[in-house]
């Protein structure tokens, strides 16, 4: 069934309301229905990012407690099971076996977005080494030196974790000293629409090579970096 753009807008707005009110059963049903009716999984994902962003703001205003954040994470996790196969299909071209190291920086335990990005890359032919959450800069560096990846993806959702991110970038640059270090890119709720857009600039000022907004961005960037690496190797 194909629905009109207007109807799609109304139904996505309804989905966002259900997400924000933490109505797990209704959210899962709405996601299944939207996918069934041909709505792009990317639009649905965007709806989640916005909805979770609003929950975060409500948490800041004291309208939700940490339990609200936990439940929103669980709803996202359940919904990802429905969304991921379709997102992968929509992602397009299959990548050429690049290697990407990914992890959530020290002090931060958010992992939903990181897992999504990892899964997405793997589904498109990349080898992903996922270091998990709360990863100290030195642990990143050890893996980078051992594995020499095409790129390093760092997840960051907490403002307080800018400092360890800066340390990581500094450590990598200092260790490579003049040699070409693997590019470092950063993703995570910190940079998405619901947060202050100037923060992305702050992250870039730390010397990060790229900032990605979602799993699609991540895939396109990694494809491009692998292509560039191959071109340089044949020069």
Q: Give the binding site for ligand B12 (CB under 6 A).
A: 45, 49, 52-53, 55-57, 59-60, 66, 69-70, 72-73, 76, 102, 107-114, 116-117, 153-155, 157-159, 185, 187-189, 192, 194-195, 212, 214-215, 218
Phi (first) and psi of residue 185, to 5 degrees: -125, 150
Query: Which tokens in the block code for residue 87?
Result: 């997102």
- Tell me how far, at minimum, the Cβ of 65 lies from ligand B12, in Å: 9
Query: Residue 3 or residue 127: which is nearer to ligand B12 going by CB?
Result: 127
Q: Contact, 49 vs 110, CB < 8 A?
A: no
CB atoms within 10 A of CB 22: 17
Query: Residue 3 or residue 73: which is nearer to ligand B12 going by CB?
Result: 73
CA distances (Å), origin 140, targets 6, 122, 143, 165, 186 = 46, 19, 5, 11, 13
- Tell me how far, at minimum, the Cβ of 106 lies from ligand B12, in Å: 10
Query: Residue 8 or residue 220: which is nearer to ligand B12 going by CB?
Result: 220
CA distances (Å), origin 29, targets 24, 116, 195 = 9, 21, 28
Phi (first) and psi of residue 22, to 5 degrees: 60, 35
Query: Residue 3 or residue 204: which is nearer to ligand B12 going by CB?
Result: 204
Q: In what order do the strands lie in the sheet with 151-155?
A: 127-130, 99-104, 151-155, 184-187, 210-211
Query: Residue 3 or residue 134: which is nearer to ligand B12 going by CB?
Result: 134
- Tell me how far, at minimum, the Cβ of 150 lies from ligand B12, in Å: 13
């Amino acid at each position: 069934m194909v629905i009109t753009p207007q109807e799609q807008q109304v139904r996505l707005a309804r989905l966002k309301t259900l997400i924000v009110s933490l109505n797990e059963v209704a959210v899962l049903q709405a996601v299944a229905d939207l996918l069934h009716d041909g709505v792009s999984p990317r639009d649905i994902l965007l709806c989640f990012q916005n909805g979770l962003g609003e929950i975060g703001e409500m948490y800041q205003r004291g309208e939700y407690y940490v339990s609200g954040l936990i439940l929103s994470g669980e709803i996202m996790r359940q919904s990802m099971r429905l969304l991921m196969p379709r997102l992968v299909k929509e992602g397009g071209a299959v990548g050429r076996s690049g290697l990407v190291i990914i992890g959530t920086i020290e002090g931060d335990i958010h992992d939903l977005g990181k897992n999504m990005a990892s899964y997405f890359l793997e589904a498109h032919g990349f080898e992903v080494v996922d270091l998990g959450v709360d990863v100290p800069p030195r642990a990143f560096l050890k893996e980078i030196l051992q594995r020499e990846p095409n790129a390093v993806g760092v997840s960051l959702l907490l403002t307080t974790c800018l400092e360890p991110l800066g340390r990581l970038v500094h450590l990598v640059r200092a260790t490579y000293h003049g040699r070409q270090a693997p590019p470092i890119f950063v993703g995570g709720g910190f940079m998405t629409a619901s947060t202050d857009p100037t923060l992305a600039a702050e992250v870039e000022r730390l010397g990060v090579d790229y900032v990605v907004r979602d799993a699609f961005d991540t895939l396109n960037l990694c494809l491009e970096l692998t292509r560039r690496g191959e071109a340089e190797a044949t020069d």
